[in-house]
Chains A and B, each alone.
Chain A
């Protein structure tokens, strides 16, 4: 994780106020998808929707590519970008498998996890 913790056993990115600022536009777009009309607008034209929220070219690419790992790096919060996944018919398990660099089947083969497993 993070820059200031060292030595922890789990890889993580702390969602600090600074990260929240960095990911503000991306998170604002994601959070807007709690509205069904916005979901329809997003699905109709993702590029236009990203422009509406003033995403940078880099951020737009993350959205179009469903690059969840990239979104975390860019300050996206998983609870929020999960609403993009919901909108495009995906779910938490698929998002998680992608972040681990696995297929969904590969990930599910690790369940139920053993104590101490990573």
Chain B
């Protein structure tokens, strides 16, 4: 049977993509942030996963509001990078694993989760801004993307995100022998519109990181407005991290954790192993 061998929660942000493309790793403003990803990348490589499941949100690049799915699972041989308006970055497409993808689709639906299944899906900075820091391109490890609506209310609850993560773990456990890592992305505190543009809450972000490890049930209890009050409107996307936590089982061991808030959003990172 397959097993979940690791979980990563990590912020995505266009600023990370720019810093990567401009090779800012030696820049004093970025050095510590770049360094913080290295233990995660080394650990991920040592885990030798056969596949990744990436939980993220689409920023109105694949989907528009004519038909905006609450959950959308990508099942395809490849996933192209989205052009978000600035043009594409010089990075390769993602490889998919359709055998695993269809298995997850069947298992989720049998388990009473009903994602939209996408056989063509462009993937935006929700994946591409952070993946190069965690795994050097070109990416050989196949990826199954799961997009979550965290933009147009009504949004799925935090608990729903946790529960779909647990359902992904059940899907993996009923699959062939495969080592799978679940990665969930999403900015920590940030506010991108209105007079409070730029609001960040490092105190809340660190509390979230504590609770994610030791008491995710408390995070499942919070409603969207509470997340938005604590971390800013757009920070509600942090609920996606609960999908990773839900996939990890009751107990986790913290392998690596980092946090910075230099500009517009909390750049957080946690790596967990089950147990």
Contacts and interface: CB of A to CB of B under 8 A. Distances in A.
A17 B192 CA distance: 19
Interface of B: 14, 59-61, 64-65, 82-87, 151-154, 191-203, 225, 228-229, 232-234, 261-264
6 contacts: A27-B60, A72-B193, A84-B85, A86-B86, A87-B85, A116-B201
B154 A17 contact: yes
A1 B228 CA distance: 11
Given A12-B228, A115-B203, A99 B194 contact: yes
Interface residues of B: mostly helix, strand, loop or mixed?
loop
A100 interface: yes
A51 interface: no
Task: Pick from A15, A20, A36, A93 the residue with the most CB of B within 10 Å.
Answer: A15
Given A10-B228, A34-B83, A77-B60, A101 B198 contact: no
Given A14-B153, A33-B85, A86-B86, A112 B65 contact: no
A13 interface: yes
Contact of A36 (B59, B83, B197, B261): B83
Nearest to A69: B194
Contact of B191 (A10, A20, A35): A10
Contact of B199 (A35, A68, A85, A118): A118
Contacts of A64: none
Nearest to A71: B193
Contact of A20 (B65, B200, B228, B263): B65
Task: Pick from B60, B83, B194 the residue with the most CB of A within 10 Å.
Answer: B194
Contacts of A14: 153, 228, 233
A99 B197 contact: yes
A17 B151 CA distance: 10
Given A10-B233, A12-B233, A83-B84, 7 more contacts: A10-B232, A11-B195, A20-B65, A27-B64, A77-B151, A82-B85, A111-B262
